[in-house]
Amino acid sequence: MIPLFVFGAIESEPLIGGSLRAFRLIRLFRLLRLLRVINLFRTAKYLKASGFIYFLVISSVAIIFGSLGIYAVEKETPGSAIKNIGDAFWFAFTTITTTGYGDVYPVTPEGRIISGILISIGIAVILGFVSRYGAILMQEREKSKNNFALETKNMIKDKN
């Protein structure tokens, strides 16, 4: 919280705040550099769209049905932190993404079962996506190594 208070105090001064806002342009240059790095992977080419769409659809469906289910079993339970559909959605989202801040949690056995199912789905979907993406990148790396070896071999033949 200290950086928040320090930067809040600094930005409230017009002269200092204005000069610090000029440094935000540095973020733009960093973003452009990051885009060049991402372009090296050519994610759109190597990542098949169907795999990413499956990831999004399964995650979205799990979050929607998980939040509806957790809201249905926890909404009127005494001691439950889930008071409205927004809390239920937040719980389902943080559980699927395996973040789990702990600010909203189920107290009923049914809610805990739903939570376990959401955790399992979240881990399976995320790890499946990451492993598929990693396999695609490794295949492309091997392909580029083979192409480089073939080009080197052809260059040696041409010299002889």
- Model confidence over 24-77: pLDDT tens digits? 656 666 666 666 555 555 554 555 556 677 788 888 889 999 999 999 998 888
Over range 118-122, report the average pLDDT: 91
For the chain, what percent of residues have pLDDT higher than 90? Answer: 19
CA distance 114 to 142: 42
132 Cβ partners below 8 Å, 6+ apart? 51
**Strands (E) located in the chain:** none
Over range 15-25, report the average pLDDT: 60
Task: Assess whether pLDDT exceeds 70 at residue 11.
Answer: no
- Give the pLDDT score at 91: 92
Assess contact for 107 and 77: CB atoms under 8 A: yes
- Average pLDDT score, the chain: 77
Most confident range, picked from 20-29, 46-55, 88-97, 131-140: 88-97
CA distance 102 to 113: 16
Assess contact for 118 and 73: CB atoms under 8 A: no
Q: How many CA atoms lie within 13 A of 91 on its CB side?
A: 31
CA distance 75 to 114: 14
